Amino acid sequence: MRLGVLICAAAAPLFFHDAACAQSSLAGTSWTVVKVQGVDVPPGLTLTFAADRVVGSTGCNQFWAPVEYRDAVAIDIGAPQSKRLYCLGAMSIERAYLASLETVESYTRESDVLKMKMPDGDVFIELKLISH
């Protein structure tokens, strides 16, 4: 995946509509999670996109996972890795959030709202922009 990022960066001036360079729309942005699986979540869940990985907080633990931007709206987030702290009352939200990240396959972005979707098009994670 790293080679693809280097190729994308080198080719960007020539092929700025290339699907392989789709990460530019999310890379470098940070979000706060508003809903997971249609349920409002407490503050503290975050997601930040980089060229080849995502990082964030579950409200209890920090996590990271590889990410592949497949085209302008398709995304593949690998298995998240996290610290193993136990936070009373937060573990079910953490498990749902991390499992949802692995499930999403596409997204839509409308200004400061990001909706990450399942294969059937249902919104699985809804986020609000923190910074870009």
21 has pLDDT over 70: no
In a domain, 55, yes or no: yes
In a domain, 29, yes or no: yes
In a domain, 35, yes or no: yes
In a domain, 68, yes or no: yes
Q: Is 71 helix (H, G, I), strand (E, B) or coil?
A: coil
CATH code where residue 52 lies:
2.40.128.270
Tell me the percentage of the chain whose pLDDT exceeds 90: 63
In a domain, 78, yes or no: yes
Alpha-carbon distances, residue 24 vs 49, 55, 99, 105 (angstroms): 10, 16, 25, 17
Total of domains in the chain: 1
In a domain, 96, yes or no: yes
Say what the pTM is: 0.79
pLDDT value, residue 63? 96
Supply the mean pLDDT for the chain: 83
More confident residue, 15 or 121: 121
In a domain, 75, yes or no: yes
Range of the domain at 59: 25-131
pLDDT band at 24 (very low <50, low <70, confident <90, very high): low
Q: Which residues contact 118 (CB under 8 A, 6 or more apart)?
A: 103, 104, 105, 124
In a domain, 41, yes or no: yes
In this predicted model, what pLDDT tens digit does every residue of 105-126 receive, in sequence order?
A: 999 999 899 999 999 999 999 9
